[in-house]
Copies of this chain bind each other. A is one copy, B any other.
């Protein structure tokens, strides 16, 4: 606006590229992120992108980091338990909304994004009263459950797609389970109706509570209260 020379297109920048990548990933999924599609969205050539980003892997990592960083904004204000739940649910919802983030996280684990999450979770573990020599392990386990469960949920969401009805899908899976071999899959058949009526978000929170309860048993005084 102020300078007429950049009236038509903003100069290319890492930030603009990452934003466009996020938009593309949201629209078309992990397979939709292409240097050709991206350069078209940015009205430039495929080669131009390499001036701001080393390669596709780094671009996916940057897009993932942008989404995760957004969910971690703001200081937590509740009890450690409530903060863990809020943190976990924030990540769960972000990965549910942007399923490609799950793949981005496992692809770039020990990079920038994971320490960000680790720090947030770890502070709550510390405030939970976990003894210091168990901080690393407990934080790792909690983070593994959060990201693992969210990733598996995202995988299901990807199969579903945005146009398939969820109830219909769960019903179909449930029916498949009921028709499994009676001897080989006796347990799975028994819980087929529980799977039909379950809620992913609720189940995720129950999982968090279960892990927290497990932590509580090693920290007498921070139990299920």
Contacts and interface: CB of A to CB of B under 8 A. Distances in A.
A102 interface: yes
A46 interface: no
B107 A155 contact: yes
A184 to B, nearest CB: 7
B109 A152 contact: yes
B149 A119 contact: no
A191 interface: yes
A141 interface: yes
Instruction: State the oligomeric state as a number of copies.
Output: 2
A32 interface: no
A90 interface: no
Given A148-B151, A214-B212, A135 B187 contact: yes
A133 B194 contact: yes
A123 interface: yes
Nearest to A223: B217
Given A155-B107, A190-B135, A207 B141 contact: yes
A118 interface: yes
A50 interface: no
B109 A159 contact: yes
Give the 3 A-B CB pairs with smallest separation, nearest first: A148-B148, A214-B214, A136-B194
Given A106-B151, A122-B188, 18 more contacts: A115-B188, A119-B186, A122-B191, A136-B191, A136-B198, A138-B210, A139-B187, A140-B198, A141-B203, A141-B206, A147-B152, A148-B148, A148-B149, A148-B151, A209-B214, A211-B214, A214-B214, A214-B215
